[in-house]
Structure 1
Amino acid sequence: MALELRNHDQIVNEAAAIAQQSCPDLTDLTPGSAFRALLEAAAFNSEWQQFLTVAVLRQTRAATSRGDDLDSYFGDFGLTRLGSVSASGTVTFSRFSTTGTALVPLGSIVKTVDGTVSFTVVKDTANPRWDIGLNGYLIAGGVGSVTVPVAASTPGASGNVRAGTITMIASAIPGIDAVANAAGFQNGADGESDEAFRARFTNYINTRSQATTGAVEFAVASVQQGLTFKIVQNKDAAGNESRGSFVIFVDDGTGSPPDALMSAIHDAVQAAAPISMPFYLLPAKVVTANVSLTIKAKPGYSKASLIGAVAAAIQDHINSLGVGEPLSFYRLAHVAQDTVEGVQNVDTLLLNGHAENVGGEPNQSVHAGSIAVS
């Protein structure tokens, strides 16, 4: 039940009312009177006792504890808070002159146009431009650009930047003149909130002695924030009927979860799944959603000022979909009109060149592609 706390004036007024009811002759409650002073002193003491009560509750109950106190409470059960996640994606380094070769070294730093968010070039041995001997990405003679993976230098949601905002090269790279990100980043996350931590603790307790779907879901969700996934039962990795097996399709927001993350998810599921039950862990298949639409502005609004906001709203909606969730064609029009003030109507709309939904299969994850608003 909620605590019924009182402030100083409420305590004084209630005490005065009770005292006057019990002894009507006590009528002098003017500021500075002896009786008023006694009531105010008692009120201050009551407020201090209220504070102590709240402080004790905040440190001894999961429902009221916060921050470090909540960490300590759940730590007794072996559960720890999920940390923040660095946003990641790709940027393209380009050069004006294609004479000779150029190298983008591992660890090179780029920044957003305002200089507030930094990203570091990371290793991707599957990238055809990666050169293990030079420890970087090589641009051959006659080639003008190279696209490489980067990760935010500081973990958290601040790394979720829009397309075209990474334009500064913080560490000079000989032969490289410009950098840009064609797509926005959306997989960065701040540390797990108290509310999310409490919700996960409930699932943790409820699935400790169970080898159920809920236990497997909890195992996957506890590896890292920002994961979306779909569990398909009685199927193998090829989609064939396989009684007693299950497949997990996972996406971390990038469309290509790294091997280290997939390995961590596999180990977590292995500890939660029933003994001898085979399972398969696969990255979800990316379905790119390219959107084109024409909007009409309300009177008093400039269409040019609305285009960027509409594109951002549509991108956020698409990238918020989890694995297995379809992207509704008709929902896109509602997003443009309901999210952005000033949009009167959507006149034309195409999704991948058609007027139909995309995605929705258990192994699919819809990601935003090009968004053209006019």
Structure 2
Amino acid sequence: MALTFQSFRTTLGNMVASAQGACPSLLDLNIGSPGRAMLEAVAGLGLWFQFIALQILSRTRLATSIGADADSFVQDFGLTRLPGTAATGTVTFTSFSPASQSATVPVGATVRTASSLVFTVVQDMTNPAWSAGAGAYVRPAGTGSITVPVECASTGATGNVAAGAICLLGTAISGIDTVTNTAALTNGSDGESDAALRTRFVSYINSRSKATVAAIENAVTDVSADLIYQVLENVDTSGAFLPGNVVVFVDDGSGDVSDSVIDAVYAAVDDVRPAAVSIQVVRPNIVRPPVAMTVSVGSTGDLATVQATISTNIATYLNGLAIGASASYSRLIQIAYAASTSVTNVTDVTLAGGTVDLPATTGTAYRAGTVSFG
């Protein structure tokens, strides 16, 4: 039911008209009169009651709830807002005089960008530079540099930075002189917005107690809204006919989704699958097509900066492609020109060595590879 709200002037006018209409003699309701003051006081209370009614309405409907009110609404149905993720990647620590001494890079050491965005070194025991004895990464004497993983100290897309943006040591490390990220960081994401939460809530409710493809897709997005997926029925992972089987290809845009995410998606899908239906949750076939082009810039542009921006934007485009989607050759040219107004010409563009789109292939995801400039 819609409410019709009135302004203070309209409310007061209606009250004056009603009071005068109910009285056989003329009332003194001029500005400053006692009668006018009483009516204005009541009209003010009326506005306050209108505000209270509006607040109640906005908090009792998901369509008009925001922030914490939207969270509390969906939590009553067992749904929670998906949090943001911190950008991760690798940085390279380098010494100007590697032969003179070794260096130890501890877990928790910080590096940052020129804009003071902080990244923290995290543990990876599979990294060749990791030393179990030292509990840290070690650059041996004679080795010029080591590459280690880092994670942004804050969640959100703000941690997605271009190659070379991480350039300052936040923690002084003996035997280390410089740091940089040779590849862009692109996997940071903001927390789920109110609009996205409302949309997912509809899918969540509509898929309850239904063993449908929509229910499976909703189960995947419940794990993380950043996941890219493709659901296929009655085939196995090779595409061969397999009745009663469901294959879920999952990626997070990096082309190397973790085992923990695969396990979480499997558990979520298993909760909604019907009896006698088998499921497989696997990574897609990742193809990283090399991109090459020659870019010319005007006198007002910096070629290195433009090339770094183009590399980052191409990586963002490829990493955002759906599983089973084609990769557009012409989009690369568009990305190059859009990188800066100083770009005057883009030539010799190739995608995987060719000048045509890469075809859409079931179970295959195109992700960022090398970008070279002539």
For Structure 1 versus Structure 2, the TM-score category normalised by the shorter chain is: 0.7 to 0.9
Q: Distance in 2 between matches of 1:280 and 1:56?
A: 46
Q: Distance in 2 between matches of 1:335 and 1:37?
A: 66
Q: CA deviation at 1:371?
A: 4.9
Q: CA deviation at 1:68?
A: 1.9
Please tell me whether the aligned partners of residues 323 and 362 of structure 1 are also in contact (alpha carbons under 8 angstroms): yes
TM-score by length of 2: 0.83
Q: CA deviation at 1:356?
A: 1.8
Match of residue 113 from structure 1: 114
5 Å matches for 1:60-79?
A: 60-79=60-79
1:327/1:40 CA distance change after superposition, 3 Å: farther
5 Å matches for 1:9-88?
A: 9=9, 11-12=11-12, 32=32, 40-88=40-88
SS in 1 for 2:84: coil
Q: Distance in 2 between matches of 1:15 and 1:344?
A: 69
Match of residue 103 from structure 1: 104
More deviation in 204-213 or 287-296?
287-296
Query: What letter is aligned with 2:126?
Result: A
Q: CA deviation at 1:224?
A: 2.0
Q: Distance in 2 between matches of 1:256 and 1:358?
A: 20
Q: Distance in 2 between matches of 1:129 and 1:70?
A: 46
1:325 aligns with 2:325: yes
Q: Distance in 1 between matches of 2:36 and 2:352?
A: 75
Query: What letter is aligned with 1:168?
Result: L
Q: Distance in 2 between matches of 1:175 and 1:140?
A: 10
Match of residue 350 from structure 2: 350
Q: CA deviation at 1:321?
A: 2.6
- Unaligned runs of 5+ residues in structure 2 are none
1:181/1:363 CA distance change after superposition, 3 Å: farther
Q: Distance in 2 between matches of 1:27 and 1:310?
A: 76
Query: What letter is aligned with 1:200?
Result: R
Match of residue 213 from structure 2: 213
5 Å matches for 1:123-272?
A: 123-272=123-272
More deviation in 128-137 or 153-162?
128-137
Please tell me whether the aligned partners of residues 291 and 369 of structure 1 are also in contact (alpha carbons under 8 angstroms): no
Please tell me whether the aligned partners of residues 296 and 346 of structure 1 are also in contact (alpha carbons under 8 angstroms): no
Match of residue 292 from structure 1: 293
5 Å matches for 1:303-314?
A: 303-304=301-302, 307=306, 313-314=313-314
1:140/1:152 CA distance change after superposition, 3 Å: same
Q: CA deviation at 1:254?
A: 2.5
Please tell me whether the aligned partners of residues 293 and 350 of structure 1 are also in contact (alpha carbons under 8 angstroms): no
1:220/1:29 CA distance change after superposition, 3 Å: same
1:333/1:32 CA distance change after superposition, 3 Å: farther
1:236/1:125 CA distance change after superposition, 3 Å: farther
Q: CA deviation at 1:193?
A: 1.6
Q: Distance in 2 between matches of 1:354 and 1:230?
A: 27
Query: What letter is aligned with 1:271?
Result: D
1:8/1:342 CA distance change after superposition, 3 Å: farther
Query: Identical aligned pairs, as a percentage?
Result: 38
1:174/1:43 CA distance change after superposition, 3 Å: same
Spell out, residue by residue over 1:9-32, the C-alpha distance to the aligned partner (whole angstroms, 9 max, x if none).
454567778999999x98998755
Q: Distance in 2 between matches of 1:365 and 1:82?
A: 24
Q: CA deviation at 1:336?
A: 4.9
Spell out, residue by residue over 1:339-362, the C-alpha distance to the aligned partner (whole angstroms, 9 max, x if none).
866767755533344322236333
SS in 2 for 1:356: coil
Please tell me whether the aligned partners of residues 293 and 347 of structure 1 are also in contact (alpha carbons under 8 angstroms): yes
1:275 aligns with 2:272: no
Query: What letter is aligned with 1:234?
Result: N
SS in 1 for 2:281: strand
Query: What letter is aligned with 1:110?
Result: V
More deviation in 166-175 or 279-288?
279-288
SS in 2 for 1:151: strand
- Unaligned runs of 5+ residues in structure 1 are none
Query: What letter is aligned with 2:106?
Result: P
More deviation in 255-264 or 47-56?
255-264
Q: CA deviation at 1:219?
A: 1.0
SS in 1 for 2:205: helix
Q: CA deviation at 1:53?
A: 0.8
Q: Distance in 2 between matches of 1:27 and 1:323?
A: 77
More deviation in 61-70 or 40-49?
40-49
Q: CA deviation at 1:202?
A: 1.0
Please tell me whether the aligned partners of residues 188 and 226 of structure 1 are also in contact (alpha carbons under 8 angstroms): no
1:37/1:291 CA distance change after superposition, 3 Å: farther
Query: What letter is aligned with 1:87?
Result: A
Q: CA deviation at 1:80?
A: 1.4
TM-score by length of 1: 0.83
Please tell me whether the aligned partners of residues 15 and 39 of structure 1 are also in contact (alpha carbons under 8 angstroms): yes
More deviation in 152-161 or 237-246?
237-246
